[in-house]
Amino acid sequence: MKTGQIRQSLSGFYDVYAEGQLYRTRARGNFRKRRITPLVGDRVEFDAPTQQEGYILNVLPRQTELVRPPVANVDLAIVVTATTTQEFSTNLLDRQLVALEVAGIKSVIYMAKTDLLSEAEFADRQRLATAYEQIGYQVIIERAAFDPTALAAVKTALAGHVAVVMGQTGAGKSTLLNHLQPGLDLATGEISQALNRGKHTTRKVSLIPIAAGLVADTPGFSSYEVFEIPANELTQYFPEFVRLGADCKYRGCVHINEPKCAVKAALAAGTVLQSRYDDYLQFYETIKNKKVIYNKKK
Ligand SMILES: Nc1nc2c(ncn2[C@@H]2O[C@H](COP(=O)(O)OP(=O)(O)OP(=O)(O)O)[C@@H](O)[C@H]2O)c(=O)[nH]1
Ligand SMILES: [Zn+2]
């Protein structure tokens, strides 16, 4: 028996990488009775008499599991953010960051399309980039449409990780992937559209080695309407609130109506971004209002 990692899945076949080689396998373990479908990124135990006919015997426990793209053990997300004034939204960015915090996936913010900005717009995005860095996120900001320094920074960030590229439609995900891996040839402007059709396509998903990491060739989605966490835990997914919250008067402070709240004090002092706090309140309300819906889930 060997141990390896699924690097690609296509019509019932799983290509497993182990000891420098790829093995084409099928699923045949008793994990199937437990309704575990192997995912790209899974670490698996398998038997392979030849490189062409192997059988997955066991799927090892997952650290993380994404639905779109269906990839296991992702531990890094490049959150591609279009910076043009029409497209840029701190709300959408914060939604993605919170969803990734909840999933236990580290985020790197990639600010794209800066070549389309005026000087004033660029200065504003730079100010935000600094603010997010202070929160604790790495921010990579393009200085040109094809910026080798930004690409090199992405490659460095990928080292040792299993990563996905996320972001809204038109953010520049395919463009970034194509620049990271020339020859990948993803059709720009087509991925979200294809996924949105919601058909059960037998889409190929693979992890491509880029620099010293692995990146899913299919970008992920940013529509996280519901956060499946209790509202009073939302604060845990805002790293700056976690740090400040230690100084709130009340344990379990949710930084809304409580007196002597360190988060609200920092907001008044201008050290917490107003947009972050506004988004926090909006997500908090969203969770409260969706309570009935997510309780119905089995
Ligand atoms: N000027 C400029 N245009 C860009 C940049 N990045 C992407 N674009 C353009 O923006 C459009 C959308 O880019 P994509 O890479 O397809 O965006 P995507 O995130 O993959 O979009 P979906 O497939 O819809 O999810 C394309 O026409 C790109 O050529 C950039 O840095 N500068
Ligand atoms: Zn507080």
Per-residue pLDDT of 153-195, as tens digits, reads 999 999 999 999 999 888 989 889 888 887 766 655 444 444 4
User: Is residue 245 lining ligand 1, measured as CB closer than 6 Å?
Assistant: no
Cα four-point dihedral sign 245, 250, 254, 258: negative
Taking the C-alpha atoms of residue 84 and residue 113, their distance in angstroms, rounded to an integer, is 7
* 106: enclosing H helix or E strand: strand 106-112
Taking the C-alpha atoms of residue 186 and residue 201, their distance in angstroms, rounded to an integer, is 17
pLDDT band at residue 220 under the 50/70/90 scheme: confident
Which of the given ranges, 9-23, 59-73, 269-283, has the highest pLDDT on average?
269-283
Give yes or no for a contact between 51 and 23, defined as CB atoms under 8 angstroms apart: yes
How is residue 36 written in tokens?
Answer: 């575990």
Range name among 89-98, 187-196, 215-224 with the lowest pLDDT average: 187-196
Cα four-point dihedral sign 276, 277, 278, 284: positive
Taking the C-alpha atoms of residue 152 and residue 180, their distance in angstroms, rounded to an integer, is 9
Q: What is the pLDDT of residue 185?
A: 64
Q: Which amino acid is at 121?
A: E
The residue whose CA is least distant from atom 8 of ligand 1 is: 172
pLDDT band at residue 41 under the 50/70/90 scheme: very high
Q: What is the pLDDT of residue 188?
A: 58
Q: What is the pLDDT of residue 298?
A: 39
**Does residue 176 or residue 201 have the better pLDDT?**
176
Rounded mean pLDDT, 144-153: 91
Q: Which amino acid is at 217?
A: D
Closest ligand 1 atom to residue 167 Cα is 19
Ligand 1 centroid, distance to 213 Cα (angstroms): 23
Would you call 84 exposed, middle or buried from its count of C-beta atoms within 10 A (0-12, 13-18, 19+)? middle
Q: What ipTM was reported for this prediction? A: 0.94
How is residue 266 written in tokens?
Answer: 């920092």
The two beta strands, 43-47 and 21-27, are unpaired
Does the structure show a pLDDT above 50 at 251?
yes
pLDDT band at residue 82 under the 50/70/90 scheme: very high
Mutate which of 113, 188, 191 for ligand 1 pocket (most atoms within 8 A of beta carbon): 188
Residues with CB under 5 A from ligand 2 (ion): 248, 253, 255, 261, 263
pLDDT band at residue 227 under the 50/70/90 scheme: confident
User: Is residue 83 lining ligand 1, measured as CB closer than 6 Å?
Assistant: no
Mutate which of 114, 164, 174, 193 for ligand 1 pocket (most atoms within 8 A of beta carbon): 174
Q: What is the pLDDT of residue 40?
A: 96
Ligand 2 centroid, distance to 280 Cα (angstroms): 12
Domains of the chain: 2-59 (2.40.50.140), 76-216 (3.40.50.300), 231-296 (1.10.40.50)
- Taking Cα atoms as reference points, which of 71, 77, 74, 56 lies closest to residue 13? 56
Write the CB contacts of 197 (distance below 8 Å, at least 6 apart in sequence): none
Does the structure show a pLDDT above 50 at 200?
no
The residue whose CA is least distant from atom 13 of ligand 1 is: 172
